[in-house]
Amino acid sequence: MRSGRRSPSRTSQSRASLSRRLLTGAAVVGVVTTATAGVGIAAESAQRPDTRAHLAPEVQLKSSSANAGETTPAGESTKAKNMILFVGDGMGAAARQAGRLALAGLDRDLYMDSLPVSGLVHTSPEDPEAFITDSAAGATAYATGVKTFNGAVGVDARGNAVPTILERASAAGKATGLVTTGQITDATPAAFAAHVSDRGQQSLIAQQYLTSSQPDVLLGGGEDWWLPAGTPGAFPDAPAEDPEEGSRSEHGNLLQQAQNDGYTYVNSAESLQQADGEKLLGLFANQEMFQQNPEGEGDIYDPVVSLQQMTTKALDTLANDEEGFFLVVEEEGVDEFAHSNNGAKTIQAIDELDKAVLAARTFAEQDGETLVITTADHETGGLSVESVDEEDESGAGEAEGISAEDGPFPVLGGPGEFVMDWTTSGHTGVDVPLTAYGPGSQLLSGTYENTYVHDAMLTALLGR
């Protein structure tokens, strides 16, 4: 047991009650489906925030020309006991706008966009061969405050390990957690809790989780990396949708090691809901918790548990630490479906992320000591959002046979429709938006390097 833990107080019991309602889906939102031109998009039946009736801003925003890091308004606290960082992998401004139009409509915001402080993040790596980042270098900048080369997690440009904010939070007595719809050992979560020069060393990353950084909560996909080849798990090897999937740990049975180390292991919605303990490992797929294929060939996003459910369970578990917690939550689907230029599934992934942000915002409003941040590591797809214009059709994309334009999609509540126009199946170098709520959020207004996000988080969480 981490020093400083205590039995849940009345406040934490109320949080647990909220968590149970969120896990069962009773307290948040329902889903309805609208469709245009045969394209289905999930939309909230509950209304999202009204853009014409803004929440009273929690902080006095700095002017758009202010430099990041200026003195914050008098009397505003920059100290957060808890921190929740959401990373919509590959989610640029246009993706957020497409999500808003499809899921909220013109007069309302996504939950992530209703967070009152906003910033703009430069995303370049320190790589002699590239100025456009990948997820590994992008997440490492957030995790360590240091730029590095593409493919590297938790190390600097010379390959030296750099302490992460998760490790610093743990050393300060705080509980820590990683949640993702991708593989829990993939680049974004790994950057906060492992140190390797090659993001592909996922079995080694899993081993480092257990032997070094030891996050209290690990929830996501990627069971394959925790079991030796030939060892059966909860999810069969070589499934029909991806015959290449299969157990492949190079460091022994890490799933058994985790349980020996005190982790409660879960692999279903029921076992996740029932789990009770301070250390939780949940693996809900062989690899990612979705299946992306070439467009029109059966993309699947129907996970065993939702990102909202995983986020809520993580909060329920971590909130019992009296010193506070640091939690990273990633929606990997935005990036993967944008790589496939699949507009409908990209919007679905944004919807899943937005529901998780709502759960965190609800927690933070009740708690009063929690900083919530939503951003991206980079943009994927070179996306623009356009009106439907038959004289301005992009036609079939030349690269890899994928379409250059998706849609049309209905604007929720009207008027009209929009299309999503892709220019690449890769990453781009555009800045990505950031929104924040809670103590310390005022540090994140302005335009800044991705490394500054780390510095602001460290200041807010640990006063450094």
Q: Model confidence over 358-377: pLDDT tens digits? A: 999 999 999 999 999 999 99
pLDDT in tens, 210-229: 999 999 999 999 888 898 87
Q: Tell me whether residue 54 is annotated as binding.
A: no
What's this model's pTM, rounded to 2 decimal places? 0.84
> What is the Cα–Cα distance from 363 to 48, expressed in whole angstroms?
17
CATH number at residue 384: 3.40.720.10
CA distances in angstroms from 117 to 58, 80, 359, 441, listed in the order given: 8, 15, 18, 6
- Tell me: pLDDT of 11 over 80: no
Would you say residue 47 lies in a domain? no
- pLDDT, tens only, 427-461: 999 999 999 999 999 999 999 999 999 999 999 99
251 annotated as belonging to a binding site for a ligand: no
Amino acid at 51: T
330 is in an annotated binding site: yes
Give me the number of domains the chain comprises. 1
423 within domain boundaries: yes
In a domain, 112, yes or no: yes
427: annotated binding-site residue? yes
pLDDT averaged over every residue in the chain: 84
Q: Is-catalytic flag, 14?
A: no
**Is the per-residue pLDDT at 189 higher than 70?**
yes
Q: Is residue 5 part of a domain?
A: no
335 is in an annotated binding site: yes
Catalytic residue among 12, 124, 135, 445: 135
339 is in an annotated binding site: yes
**What is the pLDDT, as a whole number, of residue 247?**
65
Domain boundaries, position 313: 82-462
- Flag whether 27 is in a domain: no
Q: In this model, does residue 28 exceed pLDDT 50?
A: no
Q: Which DSSP symbol is given to 113? A: G
Whose structure tokens read 């246009």? 94
Task: Give the dihedral of Cα atoms 39, 346, 270, 317; nearest 10 deg.
Answer: -150
The answer to whether residue 46 is domain-embedded is: no
* 202 and 185 Cβ atoms separated by less than 8 Å: yes
Q: According to the model, what pLDDT value does residue 250 have? A: 76
* Per-residue burial over 158-171, b = 16 or more CB atoms within 10 Å of its CB, e = otherwise: eeeeeebbbbbbbe
54 domain residue, yes or no: no
Mean pLDDT (whole number) for 401-406: 70
pLDDT at residue 361, as a whole number: 98
Does residue 455 lie in a domain region? Answer: yes
DSSP 261-273: TTPEEE-SHHHHH
